[in-house]
């Protein structure tokens, strides 16, 4: 351990195996006398945050010390994968520090969305997951919508405290940090990074002009998100980059729909009704009879029913079945983490099955829209 080369910036042990893990350096610089990890290099030289990832256990260890600090915790979540990207255990770790919930990617929703209703929905869902939030801000990092309000809220809630930024992977955390850096620091001065006190964990301190810091924590990997288990090359097909185009299907029971080769929806029982799919536009939906669904999958998986490709199927967990009972007279979403959701519209309720790779979070929730 003592001889492991460490980053001169943040102190993390250096490694050349994985670019997405903390401490990455290209093999060629690992023997150098003063080596810094790629993440510190980017911050120092380009004033730019980049993402590294850790699993849940490592992340919670890192969070353990937040409670004893006086800080603002900014939790950024992905609206497209709300229940998949929310850190539900956060409350136990932040102590009395306020949590500002930044909900990113609102550009994906239709422009006619009722934003007040959405904010209430977010607040209620966060509460149901056990998270008490000081405030909710809706934004789109990519389209630069609502970002002024994010910065305003951070300024108002932080006072003169440090700011911890936490989030799952792919929620837009780097984009947010880069914006905070450019709004809060004197960019003519080289940014320095320092080791997180008392640990070897990879949380990078970015000093602000008032002597306080933005603390960029690694993105947390949740294996229950479809976006974490698909092959890298299929990720772009899953993550929508344009406003979602809802697809509505009028279905009789005993009909099935495949979402690419990633999941299958069966309308098992109920009166004829419509279901509205909110998915990335690049995914194909195939409709068939329930009694034919198994055979169709066996014959067409990896080809007509893709992604994933036939070769990649082997590296994905097998499907498990989730039976869901949709209550009458309530608009619900059938949520499939990282893939999207299916809005129900029936007055009489329904019984449906969702087949999805083992471990993927599938749940019924109050309708988002
Ligand atoms: P990080 O892993 O949390 O640091 O997230 P990144 O900033 O690298 O973004 C992850 C992915 O989400 C990238 O494909 C981004 O283009 C995309 N993304 C980030 N912000 C937005 C947004 O506001 N809207 C949409 N549609 N995509 C976004």
- CA-CA distance, 238 to 5, in Å (whole number)? 38
Residue 287: phi and psi, rounded to 5, are: -110, 140
Q: Which residues of 227-254 are buried (b: 16+ CB within 10 A; e: fewer)?
A: bbbbeeebeebbbbeeebeeeebebebe
Predicted ipTM beyond 0.90: yes
Question: Token pair for residue 1?
Answer: 């351990």
| pLDDT tens digits, 112-154 | 899 999 999 999 999 999 999 999 999 998 888 898 899 899 9
Q: Which residues of 335-352 are buried (b: 16+ CB within 10 A; e: fewer)?
A: bbbbbbbbbbebeebbeb
Distance 146 CA to ligand 1 centre (A): 15
| pLDDT tens digits, 85-111 | 999 889 888 989 999 999 999 999 988
* Minimal-distance CA residue to ligand 1 atom 26: 241
User: Using an 8 Å Cβ cutoff, are 76 and 176 in contact?
Assistant: yes
* Ranges of CATH 3.40.50.300 domains, the chain: 47-221
* Minimal-distance CA residue to ligand 1 atom 2: 170
> Is 167's C-beta closer than 6 angstroms to any atom of ligand 1?
yes
Query: Is it the case that residue 71 has pLDDT exceeding 80?
Result: yes
The whole-number pLDDT of residue 200 equals 37
More confident of the two residues 236 and 211: 236
Distance 172 CA to ligand 1 centre (A): 4
Region 219-246 average pLDDT: 90
- CA-CA distance, 357 to 235, in Å (whole number)? 15
- Grouping H, G, I as helix, E, B as strand and the rest as coil, residue 28 is helix
- Of 39, 77, 141, the one to substitute when testing ligand 1's pocket (max ligand atoms within 8 A of C-beta) is 141
- Grouping H, G, I as helix, E, B as strand and the rest as coil, residue 210 is coil
Region 55-81 average pLDDT: 86
Q: CB within 8 A of 190, min separation 6: which ones?
A: 44
Q: Which H or E run contains 55?
A: strand 53-55
Angle between helices 173-184 and 147-158 (to 10 degrees): 70
What's the chain's Rg over C-alpha atoms? Answer: 22
> Is 104's C-beta closer than 6 angstroms to any atom of ligand 1?
yes
- CA-CA distance, 151 to 306, in Å (whole number)? 41
The separation between the first and the last C-alpha atoms of the chain, rounded to the nearest angstrom, is 52
- CA-CA distance, 20 to 235, in Å (whole number)? 15
Yes or no: is domain 47-221 CATH 3.90.70.10? no
Confidence category of residue 2, pLDDT binned at 50, 70, 90: low
Which residues face 53 on adjacent strands? 219
Atom number, ligand 1, closest to the C-alpha of residue 240: 26
> Is 227's C-beta closer than 6 angstroms to any atom of ligand 1?
no
347 DSSP 8-state letter: S
User: Using an 8 Å Cβ cutoff, are 27 and 167 in contact?
Assistant: no
| pLDDT tens digits, 266-313 | 999 999 999 999 999 999 999 999 999 999 999 999 999 999 999 999
CA angle 54, 368, 152 (to 5 degrees): 65
Cite the DSSP H helix spans in 66-141.
82-85, 90-94, 115-128
- Of 80, 147, 172, 181, the one to substitute when testing ligand 1's pocket (max ligand atoms within 8 A of C-beta) is 172
Prediction pTM value: 0.86
Range with top average pLDDT, 4-18, 57-71, 187-201, 309-323:
309-323
User: Using an 8 Å Cβ cutoff, are 164 and 73 in contact?
Assistant: yes
> Is 169's C-beta closer than 6 angstroms to any atom of ligand 1?
yes
Q: Measure CA 219 to chain center.
A: 9
* Minimal-distance CA residue to ligand 1 atom 6: 172
Distance 155 CA to ligand 1 centre (A): 23
The sign of the torsion formed by the CA atoms of 185, 190, 196, 200 equals positive
| pLDDT tens digits, 146-202 | 988 998 999 899 998 999 999 998 898 887 887 777 776 655 444 445 444 333 345
Atom number, ligand 1, closest to the C-alpha of residue 173: 3
Query: Is it the case that residue 51 has pLDDT exceeding 70?
Result: no
* Minimal-distance CA residue to ligand 1 atom 17: 172
Region 63-87 average pLDDT: 92
Query: Is it the case that residue 30 has pLDDT exceeding 90?
Result: no
- CA-CA distance, 334 to 363, in Å (whole number)? 6
> Is 108's C-beta closer than 6 angstroms to any atom of ligand 1?
yes
Query: Is it the case that residue 24 has pLDDT exceeding 70?
Result: yes
* Minimal-distance CA residue to ligand 1 atom 25: 105
| pLDDT tens digits, 308-349 | 999 999 999 999 999 999 999 889 999 999 999 999 987 889
- CA-CA distance, 23 to 14, in Å (whole number)? 4
- Of 85, 86, 138, 175, the one to substitute when testing ligand 1's pocket (max ligand atoms within 8 A of C-beta) is 175
Confidence category of residue 49, pLDDT binned at 50, 70, 90: low
- CA-CA distance, 150 to 74, in Å (whole number)? 10
């Amino acid at each position: 351990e003592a001889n492991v080369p460490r980053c001169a910036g943040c102190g993390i042990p250096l490694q050349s195996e994985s670019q997405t893990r903390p401490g990455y350096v290209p093999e060629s610089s690992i023997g150098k006398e003063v080596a810094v990890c790629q993440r510190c290099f980017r911050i120092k030289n380009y004033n730019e945050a980049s993402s590294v990832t850790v699993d849940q256990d490592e992340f919670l260890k890192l969070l353990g010390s937040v409670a004893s600090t006086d800080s603002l915790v900014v939790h950024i979540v992905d609206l497209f994968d709300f229940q998949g990207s929310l850190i539900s255990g956060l409350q136990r770790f932040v102590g009395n520090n306020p949590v500002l919930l930044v909900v990113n990617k609102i550009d994906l929703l239709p422009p006619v969305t009722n934003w007040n209703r959405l904010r209430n929905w977010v607040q209620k869902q966060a509460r149901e997951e056990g998270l008490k939030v000081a405030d909710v801000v809706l934004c789109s990092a990519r389209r630069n919508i609502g970002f002024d309000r994010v910065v305003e809220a951070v300024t108002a809630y932080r006072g003169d405290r440090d700011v911890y930024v936490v989030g799952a992977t792919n929620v837009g955390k780097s984009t947010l940090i880069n914006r905070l850096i450019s709004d809060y620091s004197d960019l003519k001065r080289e940014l320095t990074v320092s080791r997180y006190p008392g640990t070897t964990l990879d949380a990078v301190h970015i000093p602000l002009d008032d002597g306080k810091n933005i603390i960029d924590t690694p993105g947390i990997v949740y294996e229950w998100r479809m976006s974490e288990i698909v092959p890298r090359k299929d990720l772009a097909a899953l993550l929508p980059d344009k406003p979602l185009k809802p697809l509505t299907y009028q279905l009789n029971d005993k009909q099935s729909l495949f979402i690419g080769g990633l999941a299958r929806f069966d309308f098992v029982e109920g009166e004829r009704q419509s279901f509205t799919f909110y998915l990335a536009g690049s995914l194909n939906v195939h409709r068939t009879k329930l009694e034919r669904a198994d055979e169709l999958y066996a014959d067409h998986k990896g080809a007509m029913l893709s992604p994933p490709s036939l070769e990649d199927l082997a590296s994905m967990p097998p499907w498990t079945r989730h039976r869901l009972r949709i209550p009458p007279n309530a608009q619900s979403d059938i949520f499939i983490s990282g893939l999207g959701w299916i809005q129900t519209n029936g007055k009489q309720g329904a019984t449906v099955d969702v087949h999805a790779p083992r471990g993927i979070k599938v749940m019924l929730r109050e309708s988002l829209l």
